[in-house]
Structure formats: C-alpha cells, structure tokens
Structure 1
Amino acid sequence: MSKTFNPRHLDVAAFAHAKAELSGEELLQKHERLAQELHGPAGDLTVKWQAQGESRSAVDGSVRPAIHLRVQAELPLTCQRCMDAVLTPIMVDRHFVFVPDEDTAATLDDESEDDVLELSADFNLLGLVEDEVLMALPLVPSHDECPTGVVHSAQTDDFDEAAEEKPHPFAALAALKNKKP
C-alpha cells in the first residue's frame, strides 16, 4: 500500500522513510511574497518543483530523514539599470536534513553542508519552495545588455535649466560693492 503525501502538510519522517517523491507546478500568484518581486502581475507564471524523501548522514554521524529539493522557474524581475523586465532563470538543488528539535538544528547547521531543519509531522513543503526561490533571487537583477538605452546620469534636461534660473546668492553683495557713494 502506498501512502499519499500532501505538500502543504507533509509528515517528513514518513516521507523520507518511504523514499517517496512529490512534484508539482504551482502558480506564482499563489506565493504572495514571491509575486511581489516580479515585474508586473504573475499571470499564469509557474514554479516547477520536485522533492525526494531520503535518509542522509548528518555531521554528527547519525542517519536522519532528509528531503532533496529541486526547483526551477523563469521569473520576470525588474532590471535595475533600465527598469524593464528581465527574464531570470532560477534553479535550486538542495538537501535538507531534519532533526528532532530546534537546538540540535542550530548546532548541526553551522557544521553541515546541508540545511538542517526541525522535524515536523505537519511541514509546509510549498512554503520551503517559496523561501528557497526568494533566497535564490539575484540581489540586483539586470540584463547582460539592456534592450533600451540606459541614462547613466542623475541629471535631466530640466535640472540644468533650473540651475540657470536661480539667482546667485552673492549677486546682491556684488551689486552693493560696485555701487559707489
């Protein structure tokens, strides 16, 4: 008999023990924090993900329940040079090892190459997918070469005109100095 697993309420230990696999394609608009990072509305854009339950050796030598997570997406982000949309591929391929409590997770996480999380019988895998995509976003999205010209100056045409219209603050003093009694 095979067990059906729910990615929103995942029993991590049972999932890993069964060496089960889950995969899906989620609409970006279902991930509110991720949708806020996009250039424009999410529409029908999706995130593809795959999770494989497994057992992995932790740095303390014990064998722990684990999840191998792969995520793939192409997101339209805002180019920070030209402010147009730039299609950015996002790839995540990570292992997560689960331990009984938060203190153990904090201790092992510093020494482990894998991320170490607290074991849960009600784990939100889709929340982890969103978190990992958010962390994989580039700090400064940009085109290799922007399709439109980029203005490399903070000044605009009316900036120079405004500077010319302003009277010089010492002009009145110069007029007084030149005035002879």
Structure 2
Amino acid sequence: MGVSDPYIDTYELTRLGQRLEGRVPLRRFARLLEGLPAQGDAQADWSLRGEQDALGRRFLHLHVAAGIVLECQRCLSPFVWPLDASSTLEVVASAAQLDDGGGDEGAEPVERIVASRRLDVLALVEDELILAVPYVPKHEQCPDAPKPSGDGAASAAPDSSLGRPSPFAALGRLKKN
C-alpha cells in the first residue's frame, strides 16, 4: 500500500497491521540536507508497518534506505554513503508514558512516540535518516591515499617532503618489539 497523504493515524495503522511504503527525493528533507553536499536526484525508499501484539501494545516498524552524498572527513571529497536503517517505535497513549520503563525484563529497549491521529510519516522518515548519518563520515580507503603495504616498508621510508626518515618509523619499530 502506498501513501499519497503523508499523514497517518497511528492507532488505525497499528490496529490493522497495515504497511505503507514510498520513495521520496532527498531534496524534500531540509533538516537532513543542512550542511551536506548537493544530493542530485537521490531518493530515499521507506516502509512503515504497524503492529499490535497480544498484550495490546502498538508498534511502528520503520525501514529507510538511501544513498546520501557526504564529505569524507579525511580527504574532503564527496562520496555516496549507503544508508540502510531500521527502527521500532512503541506507540503510547500519552506523553507521561514516554519515559515509563515498562516492557519486559531483559527485553531490548524501544523508542516511544505518542499516538496521533495525524502523524507526519515523512518527518518520521527524515528523523530516521538524520539519526543514521555518521557523525564523522569517511571512506574506507580514500581514493587519493597511498595504499598500505603489509611489510611495514612504508613506515621506514623517508618523508618525501623533507628527505629524511619519518619520526614515526622509530615508534613503529619500538611497537613491534
């Protein structure tokens, strides 16, 4: 089931166990994009499923996937970060229940939201995207960085900019001993 209206009734969605899904351009999420590089035509795919368990507790299961352009904090070049995030939210009747410990002993803690007849699904999707973006994004291996060698020869090589051995080469030898 797709969604044309971005608002849902959390009670109905959870009571009926409905599933909603969609695709939305990242440019729609102003809070997410603040301070990020241009995203082009990037899209986010999302799904939201409601559930009511045997004890009458209500849950929303949210999944979001997108390729977000970030700036590597090592080399400062843009790269696409594959984002795939899921969360479960317990729907509670009042704000007083938000901080209530509740739940089963030993059960994994679940975030809670107050039930609403008009919850903005896309705001929920944007929140999940924001929480999933790494605080310090970086490549696994920057494209312009020298490839690490397994023999340790690079640590003993002279500092090419100064023509003398690196002071860290001596530390590397000490660490091996």
Task: Please give the range of the TM-score, normalised by the shorter of the 2 chains.
Answer: 0.7 to 0.9
Partner of 1:35: 33
How far has the Cα of 1:18 moved from its partner? 1.4
TM-score (norm 2): 0.73
How far has the Cα of 1:5 moved from its partner? 5.9
Partner of 1:72: 65
Partner of 2:16: 18
- CA RMSD, 1 decimal: 2.5
Instruction: Tell whether the 8 Å contact from 2:3 to 2:21 is kept in structure 1 after alignment.
Output: no
Letter in 2 for 1:17: R
Partner SS, residue 63 of structure 1:
coil
Q: Aligned partners of 1:19, 1:53: CA distance in 2, in Å?
A: 5
The 3 A distance-change label for structure 1 pair 106 and 83 is same
Residue from 73, 93, 96 that aligns with 2:86: 93
Instruction: Tell whether the 8 Å contact from 1:50 to 1:70 is kept in structure 2 after alignment.
Output: yes
Letter in 2 for 1:128: L
Q: Aligned partners of 1:37, 1:129: CA distance in 2, in Å?
A: 19
Partner of 1:55: 52
Percent identity among equivalent residues?
26
Specify the structure having the higher radius of gyration (Cα). 1
Letter in 2 for 1:50: S
How far has the Cα of 1:136 moved from its partner? 0.9
Which segments of structure 1 move beyond 3 Å, counting only runs of 4 or more? 3-7, 108-112
The 3 A distance-change label for structure 1 pair 12 and 144 is same
Partner SS, residue 8 of structure 2:
coil
The 3 A distance-change label for structure 1 pair 88 and 4 is closer
The runs of 5 or more residues in structure 1 that have no matched partner are: 151-156, 158-181
Q: Aligned partners of 1:35, 1:107: CA distance in 2, in Å?
A: 33
Q: Aligned partners of 2:136, 2:102: CA distance in 1, in Å?
A: 28
